[in-house]
Chains A and B, each alone.
Chain A
Amino acid sequence: MKLFLKVWKQDGPQTEGRFESHVLDGVSEDSSFLEMLDQLNEQLLEEGKEPVAFDHDCREGICGTCSLNINGFAHGPENSTTTCQLHMRKFEDGDTITIEPFRAKAFPVIRDLVVDRSAFDKIIQAGGYITVRTGSAPDGNALPVPKEDADLAMDAAQCIGCGACVASCKNASAMLFTSAKAGHLNMLPQGQAEKDSRVLNMVAAMDEAGFGNCRNYGECSAACPKDISLDYIAKLNRDYAKAKIKKVFS
């Protein structure tokens, strides 16, 4: 395959970015999108040029490290797929592919296609955990969880925190991520004790980081590689209202 690539180049957070065009020939349609970028970087190194910086880690769709806005789609045009699991056979020979970083004020560009997603870590630090006595592991099945709750909590827990929801939202809102992380714990018995403070603190951290507001477009869920449902956003809205009312009257 011969590809015409339009890749975002930016030297640092404070510098202006720009697009650079490259022609890459001999791309196997069996290679993944990231392997295609590896091939581009080898070509650039051979030409004595700077390689393109991009995020990647597990390359099997579970770590949430890879990102990229590909032809306008976060993680590319395929549904329920991360960039690392996107294969070049989904593109045509001779295609022009525009590759941009995930864009949001809360995700500043570090270099080229690498963005700083530590705003997500701050949201998790604000309440995306449970406080438990550490030590020996509890007995299996000591804490009964209804199957339905476990399934819904697992659906939310699938969120890999990649930030595609923020990148695809017209307002760069982090509601899908925050709602999945809060909802996952709020649906389980272990999460009940800190349920109210969790939603209040996580939403406060989300607002603090400079993410936009949810306008119920549904773009986030459509782009999510793990198909997190908008139901979790509705649940966060519900849980937050209850927590806020309890706080006002307590």
Chain B
Amino acid sequence: MSLYNRLVMQSSLIKKYIMALTGIVLVGFVFVHMAGNLQVLLGQEAINAYAHALQNLPAPILWGSRLFLLVCVVAHAVTAYQLIKENRAARPQSNEVEITKRAGWSSLRMGLTGSLMLAFIVFHLLHFTIRTIYPEYNDLKTTVGSPDGSEIHDVYSMILAGFRIDAISVFYVFCMFLLCRHLAHGVSSMFQSLGLRSESWRCKLDFAASAYGWIIFIGFSIIPVLVLAQKYGLVNCLDTCGSSCSVNL
């Protein structure tokens, strides 16, 4: 801890580098996660096979990646907490009239959107990964997507079952909107924190960050939206796969 304090906590800029570097990892992770999720659109076999392959990665790779992501999330959150605490202390008396000239909604509320994202990550892990919120998801088994014909976890059915609950879908889409706003500032800001932004690049990076946020929002939200739309008979594009699916929409 003293080494951590000596190396990190003493300098405001090192804290910003940690925010940026862990941010890059998490920005990359959400894209890969989104791309993986979109395989739901390809049907039960694709997503089940993909999920099975991920779950059965060699233990050092699987648990190494999980640990690395956990360390990044914890470092990002703890450093953000430290920064916010120092920032509040730096302005003990607020202005009678507070004017904001340039800062946007997203940049002013990184702490709020970030804290809610942290809560969302905990919920999401309990919901779909550890499956303690709905333990019956553990019983969803199928051979569809299995590489050797044995029974594997039916991720496709779990997703349909999860998102056919209106409140869950609305909550997920709302959280993805918060993530979109968090990314809209974060993705551009991390370049500034690492010293890799200039006035001529600022507009382009701000645009790219905003576009990235919306891509992530749409990519993640499309699945709960389609599940609900199909539940209410508005579309019929998700394969409910007859008898091999445990869930009907």
A residues in contact (CB < 8 Å) with B: 6, 8, 17, 19, 69, 71-73, 98, 100, 103-106, 168, 170-173, 203-204, 206-207, 210-219, 221-223, 229-231, 233-241, 244
Contact = CB atoms under 8 A, between A and B. Distances in A.
Contact of B96 (A98, A221, A223): A98
B12 A206 contact: yes
Contacts of A215: 83, 87, 107, 110, 189
Contact of B89 (A173, A210, A217): A210
Interface residues of B, number: 42
B89 A216 contact: no
Nearest to B101: A222
Interface of B: 10-17, 83, 86-87, 89-103, 107-108, 110, 185, 188-189, 191-199, 202
B103 A219 contact: yes
Q: Give the 10 A-B residue pairs with the shortest CB-CB distance, closest first.
A: A238-B195, A212-B90, A72-B99, A72-B97, A237-B195, A217-B103, A171-B87, A222-B101, A172-B90, A212-B87
Given A204-B11, A237-B192, A171 B90 contact: yes
A218 B95 contact: no
Given A206-B12, A207-B10, A219 B102 contact: yes
B3 to A, nearest CB: 12
B194 A237 contact: yes
Contacts of B17: 237, 241
Nearest to A16: B93
Contacts of B188: 216
Given A105-B91, A170-B87, A100 B96 contact: yes
A72 B194 contact: no
A171 B195 contact: no
